[in-house]
Homo-oligomer: A and B are copies of this chain.
Amino acid sequence: MLLYDSRVSGNCYKVRLLFSHLGLGYERRNVDVIDRSGRLELLGDVNPGLRVPTVVLDDGRSLGESNAILWFFAEGTPYLPDAQFERAQVLQWMFFEQYSHEPYIAVLRFWSEVAHINPADADVEAKLSGGYAALDAMERHLAAREFLVAERYTIADIALYAYTHVAGEGGFDLSTYPQIRSWLTRVASQSGYVGISA
């Protein structure tokens, strides 16, 4: 199995983390996330979105979108519940992640840690505002729960953990988010856990 990967991408890390939990072997092929020229040639046949991560199975079938990849490999494992409503709740949090969390928290980190660009103050403020709104939503939800869904560690936690645990690299201050910080510790203590740099 081949993973089109980026070591700095939290979206790619999600997949690597689940693969580690599951003990799956795979080949990593690094894709440049700054210079995106040539993406159509590299990924056009395997992922219409031209993004990483993209997985190519041994039979040649391919799949893109980090959270769709998580879903595919978690099916039938302890990382995805069986009950229909809980499965929909897992998806709710994964769509929340891609729409209301990643575009703010991941992008600020990308600007400062990866691309080393200096955006306008107004752009930073907008990203901070959106990101803190996402963190507020997580904090409220985790106040009464150990994990996001079904009181167990699932791919919803993996999806949200990826960029939340490095939010500080984008300038977010988690000191006033005790529920999130406790949850980060619980995730990092799961069997088979690996860090983003592994």
Residues of A near any B CB (own CB < 8 A): 44, 47-51, 61, 63-69, 71-72, 75, 84-85, 87-89, 91-92, 94-96, 98-100, 102-103, 137-138, 140-141
Contact = CB atoms under 8 A, between A and B. Distances in A.
How many copies of the shown chain assemble into the complex? 2
Given A98-B95, A137-B49, A137-B50, A88 B71 contact: yes
A100 B49 contact: yes
B85 A67 contact: no
Nearest to A45: B140
Contacts of A94: 68, 95
A126 to B, nearest CB: 11
A48 to B, nearest CB: 4
Given A67-B91, A91-B65, A91-B71, A48 B85 contact: no
A68 B88 contact: yes
